[in-house]
Amino acid sequence: MREAVIVSAVRTPIGNFNGSLSNIGATKLGAVVIEAAVQKAGIQKDVVNEVIMGMVLPCGYGQNPARQAAVLANMPFEVECITMNKVCGSALKAVM
């Protein structure tokens, strides 16, 4: 069995209702975070096996916002993606 490792974890900034981030969609913010996580880890995108993204209130974003964010971040098609929705614990659950 191969060893699983977490090589990077990044989060979006915390904004205010109708604040400066309100015009940027959650999946676009997710893509920015994915790009930052890959850069922070110092790896190539093709060695990533899975994207796990926490997102609360994914209403209106369709199926699997993590996949949408990965596509926007130009991750390889083969990378598996999962969206965690655990209200306040989404980010914590994503790194567990």
Lowest mean pLDDT among 2-6, 50-54, 69-73, 76-80: 2-6
Q: Is residue 60 part of a domain?
A: yes
Query: Is the per-residue pLDDT at 53 higher than 70?
Result: yes
54, amino acid identity: G
Q: How far apart are CA 63 and CA 23, in angstroms?
A: 21
Q: Do the domain assignments include residue 12? A: no
The domain total for the chain is 1
* Residue span of the structural domain in which 39 resides: 26-94
Question: Is 14 among the domain residues?
Answer: no
Whether 20 is covered by a domain: the verdict is no
Measure the CA–CA gap between 33 and 10, rounded to whole angstroms: 6
Put simply, whether the predicted model's pTM sits higher than 0.85 gets the answer no
Q: Is 73 among the domain residues?
A: yes
Side-chain-side CA neighbours of 23 within 13 Å: the count stands at: 1
Question: Looking at residue 2, what is its pLDDT?
Answer: 81
The answer to whether position 16 is within a domain reads no
Q: For residue 16, is it left (φ>0), alpha (ψ between -120 and 50) or beta?
A: beta
Nearest-angstrom CA–CA distance, 4 and 12:
24
Instruction: Please report which confidence band the pLDDT of residue 7 belongs to, taking 50, 70 and 90 as the band edges.
Output: confident
